Chains A and B, each alone.
Chain A
Amino acid sequence: MGTGTRAWHRFRGHRFGLAGLVLLSLLVIACLSAGWLAGALGIDPEAVDLFSQYGAPTSAHLLGQDDLGRDVLLRLLAGGQVSLSVAFVAALAAASIGTAIGLAAGYWGGWLDAVLMRLVDSVIALPLLPLLIVLAAIDPAKLGFGPWAEEQSFGLIRIVVIVAAVGWTTPARLVRGATLAARAQGYVQAARALGVAPLAIAVRHILPNVSGPLIVATTLAMGQVILFESALSFLGLGIQPPTPSWGNMLTGAQEIIWQAPMLAIYPGLAIFLTVMSVNFLGDALQDALAPRATERQDAA
């Protein structure tokens, strides 16, 4: 039985992981089908209709209408496209930073390892949300970004950079641990004895062997990143309206909670279900791909 098959067997035994995978796939498919659904229902998702403010659910507006009379379901799906893609890209970015740092710390060891791991500890200990708020308040003009800073794409890249800047610690730790294990393997020592350059060993021989923990770390980072992004967007510092995101759809929900309680529920429920699915998935992947790491965590 190959490694992949064995991992799949372990994964399949994890019922919640499987449920997370299914739920996450459904959410992604639903969000991707937003455009098609808008056409099928014959609704323009951006259309404002103040006469049907807080409209109750109908056959056309399945989840009702918001404070501007826009269709709640379509906005939810459009917001999901934004939130999920931002989270995905940010998690990849965080995992890349974490991999570079974890690989360097684990492979070269010594003082580099000590310094990098103290850095990880320090970042984890920081009051991250206050720090993120200051990061989000930075004026891009002072960093030399010109007119590009006014565009929508800049806002999205900006939030990706900000949350990735604090989300890399878990990947760094997991990759470091896996690197330490891989370094002790015979083939790495053989490559060293043959005089292969350290960077080549790290990239060619160690990196492929830490791919399991890396996948786990990316998945777990995604859950964290979604929570950070939604909190910032909720506070008005992340993704800016009119671009919908699950976080910023809740910004005004508190003021209108008496008129439209459901508007305070749907986007938060979407965030909650997504993060929960992602975490279940990450947990199951950890059992399947990096069983030793799980044991260690369980004992801690």
Chain B
Amino acid sequence: MLRFLTMRLAQSLAVLVLMSVAIYGLIGLMPGDPIDLALSADPRLTSDDIARLRALYGLDEPWAHRYWAWAIQALQGEFGYSRLFAQPVISTLAEPLGRTLLLMGGSFAVALAIGLPAGMAAGARPHSRLDYVVNLICFAGVAMPAFWLALLLILLFAVHWQIFPASAVALEPGFATQLRHLALPILTLGLLQAGGITRYMRAAMREALSADHIRTARAKGLSEVGVIWGHALRNAMIPVISILALDVGGLFSGALIVEMMFGYPGMGKLLFDAVMGNDYNLALVALLFGTGVTLVANLAADIAYAAVDPRVSFARMSDA
């Protein structure tokens, strides 16, 4: 167990370090650099000033040196200032992060409320008409572009029926108003996730129902409801939970699109604005943060999977 934990932790750290190198390199390839921005803000700067500024900020040094200097600072919790917000990068992250977590949490609840029952019902009756229809809808869900789903929901709920507003930001205060504005973003992201959850639940339910102990339970005369709730569901939940945690990266991508569509100032929109506004420090940290959270979720999923299911041997997993 300890060996498995250290192996997985070391792997995740290695990936994070590699990603920090890659992301630092990519951000450095974005158009312009801080000095160009200073120059466009103050045209009186001479080329001597520019050379001096470059030396001052270390921009004339080789790439590896700059990365190393950045990494040392970052490890001390120093990520620099955001150009767009004129404050330390770290303090610009807190509010958007809270909003994104709210969005993700709400949509996850919606997705579970749809996906778990649908997947259970379909998985419990393989090859039935219901199974067929659920599977077809899931196929459609996978093929659905996130931004088009948002457009369709806006068209239906905001333009046609006028039940919910098309913008995530409420101008008036009040909990009910805020909630109304969040309804469409949460519904969009929830529907996007529901397909995956349904599919996993359906497959896991089928697998669980084909096990030997289920046949025994049926043979002793247990009702079908008792079989599903008492025996199959517990085994079906194990892979579903871990697969959900593995999909956090995909959730970030979906949240970004939803935040853009509904003008919701969360992490995804923050990253997009940072990239578009040449806010190098902010873009770097936002992307690295998203990657870090994803890696932690994956790690947690692996450990949880192994801890919950005694059939998974730690030794075997660390070899794989």
Contacts and interface: CB of A to CB of B under 8 A. Distances in A.
Interface string A105-139: 00000000000011000101111111101110111
B253 A129 contact: yes
Contacts of A261: 155, 159
Contacts of B85: none
Interface residues of A, number: 47
B294 A127 contact: yes
Given A125-B246, A133-B272, A134-B23, A264 B155 contact: yes
B294 A125 contact: yes
A159 interface: no
Best-surrounded residue of A131, A135, A139, A269 (most CB of chain B within 10 A) = A131
B249 A127 contact: yes
B193 interface: no
Interface in B252-301: 252-253, 256-257, 260-261, 268, 271-272, 275-276, 283, 286-287, 290-291, 294-295, 298
Given A130-B268, A268-B152, A299-B207, A138 B30 contact: yes
Interface residues of B, number: 54
Nearest to A223: B143
Interface string B24-49: 00111111100000000000000000
Interface of B: 11, 15, 19, 23, 26-32, 139-140, 142-148, 151-152, 154-155, 159, 166, 203, 206-207, 239, 246, 248-250, 252-253, 256-257, 260-261, 268, 271-272, 275-276, 283, 286-287, 290-291, 294-295, 298, 320
Given A139-B31, A268-B152, A128 B147 contact: no
A268 B26 contact: no
Contacts of A143: 29
B253 A276 contact: no
A271 B320 CA distance: 37
B261 A271 contact: no
Contacts of B155: 257, 261, 264-265
